[in-house]
Amino acid sequence: MSYEFILVNPQVAPFVGLIQLNRPKELNALNLQLMGEIKEALLQLDEDENIRAIIITGNDRAFAAGADIKQMAGRNAIDMLKIDQFSTWDSIRKTKKPIIAAVSGFALGGGCELCMLCDMIVASETAQFGQPEINIGVMPGAGGTQRLTRAVGKARAMEMVLTGNFITAEEAREAGLINKVVPVQLYLDEAIKMASKIAEKSPIAVQMAKESVLKAFDTGLQEGLFFERKNFYMLFATEDQKEGMNAFIEKRKPEFKNK
Ligand code: DAK
């Protein structure tokens, strides 16, 4: 499938797929078509047996500077309701395979929210994260008040959302929003390294583990523990569990088959 605003490399490394946002002049502003293309590409990569981890990236200057303000400016509430962008965002959130955001430059508004939909974030030293919607008379609408608050705590989230101030990559790492900060030449390599490491594991175990961690956002502790337990038991129905444990005992590297 060919896309206008993204580039897809289905094997940037063995078992690792890459989606690159590609509207560089507009700092990868997320118009509806671009979001739809990300959704389509993720659906394809999620179904592809040869993919075990996915990376979403932009370019050195911008991951994404937010939703496309020029496209949104003239809309009214009913237009926004009818467009129902949330189904696209929800579909991205439902991706079963792990997604790593490789971020450099601006990750603002919807760009920051897109990163937070991913499972991990690797950033370059030049990355800046922010929810500046308040500067244009609105507020975050795709998780910015919720996921950010859970990640960095009330004080910092409130400051970012109410002042529109950006935080640096290092501040984001200290606050627990992102996983790693590396020099700008290395952020994509680092994300590939992380994705490749995950791709060596049992894909079924990875999927169940991802699902279980995400459950922690949606439920109380008891329900979450119950969910975790079920997934844990379920993995004992896989060949990968036997292979993983036997390989340990036999002092060899496991060969996981996704079965
Ligand atoms: N939308 C459209 N165009 C953008 C853009 C954006 N968000 N950000 C940058 N651009 C365009 C600029 O207009 C400029 O285009 P030309 O003038 O060259 O045609 C080009 O990209 C380069 O930008 P600048 O010339 O401004 O570059 P600077 O380095 O001077 O400044 C900047 C970079 C990132 C600080 C600045 O561009 C900026 O403040 N951008 C806007 C950041 C922002 O406010 N982002 C939040 C947007 S609101 C939803 C889901 C998500 C959302 C809403 C609903 N649903 C599911 C319902 C999200 C909302 C948002 O993200």
| Residue extents of the structural domains in the chain | 6-199, 203-249
32 pocket-lining for ligand 1 (C-beta < 6 Å): no
Closest residue by Cα to residue 129 from 174, 95, 160: 160
Instruction: Label the pairing between strands 120-124 and 99-103.
Output: parallel
Residue 85 confidence (pLDDT)? 87
- 85 C-beta closer than 6 A to ligand 1: yes
Per-residue pLDDT of the chain (259 residues; tens, 9 = 90+): 789 999 999 999 999 999 999 999 999 999 999 999 999 999 999 999 999 999 999 999 999 999 999 999 999 999 988 988 899 999 999 999 999 999 999 999 999 999 999 999 999 999 999 999 999 999 999 999 999 999 999 999 999 999 999 999 999 999 999 999 999 999 999 999 999 999 999 999 999 999 999 999 989 999 999 999 999 999 999 999 999 999 999 999 999 999 9
Sign of the Cα pseudo-torsion (82, 211, 56, 127, in order): positive
Substitution site in 23, 33, 38, 69 for ligand 1 pocket (most atoms within 8 Å of beta carbon): 69
Angstrom distance (rounded) from CA 244 to CA 234: 15
Closest atom, ligand 1, to C-alpha of 27: 21
d(CA 177, CA 131): 13
User: Mutate which of 21, 22, 25, 26 to test ligand 1's pocket (most atoms within 8 Å of Cβ)?
Assistant: 26
Q: pLDDT at position 188, please?
A: 98
How far is Cα 228 from Cα 47, in angstroms, rounded to an integer? Answer: 24
Residue 136 in contact with ligand 1 by CB distance below 6 A: yes
Q: How remote is the CA of residue 96 from the centroid of ligand 1, in Å?
A: 30
The Å distance, Cα 246 to ligand 1 centre, comes to 52
CA distances from 192 to 12, 41, 114, 187, 208 (A): 8, 18, 18, 9, 21
Phi, psi at 182, each rounded to 5° = -135, 165
pLDDT of residue 167: 98
Distance CA 196, CA 13 (A): 7
Q: What are phi and psi of 46, to 5 degrees?
A: -65, -30
**Where in the sequence numbering do the catalytic residues fall?**
67, 110, 113, 133
The pLDDT, as a whole number, for residue 5 is 98
DSSP reduced 3-state for 10: strand
Of 80, 85, 81, 67, the C-alpha closest to 31 is 67
Give the chain's count of helices (H) and strands (E).
12, 10
Q: Is 205 helix (H, G, I), strand (E, B) or coil?
A: helix
CATH number of the 203-249 domain:
1.10.12
The pTM of this model reads 0.96
Q: Quick one: pLDDT at residue 218?
A: 87
Ligand 1 atom nearest 68 alpha carbon = 1
CA of residue 138 to ligand 1 center, whole Å: 14
Contact 256 CB / ligand 1 (< 6 Å): no
DSSP assignment, residue 118? S
Give the CATH fold of the 6-199 domain.
2-enoyl-CoA Hydratase; Chain A, domain 1 (3.90.226)
Question: Cα–Cα distance between 180 and 173 in angstroms, integer?
Answer: 7
Task: Give burial (CB, 10 Å; 0-12/13-18/19+) of 133.
Answer: buried
Confidence (pLDDT) at 39:
97
Distance in Å, CA 107 to ligand 1 centroid: 10
Same CATH topology for 6-199 and 203-249: the answer is no
pLDDT of residue 84: 85
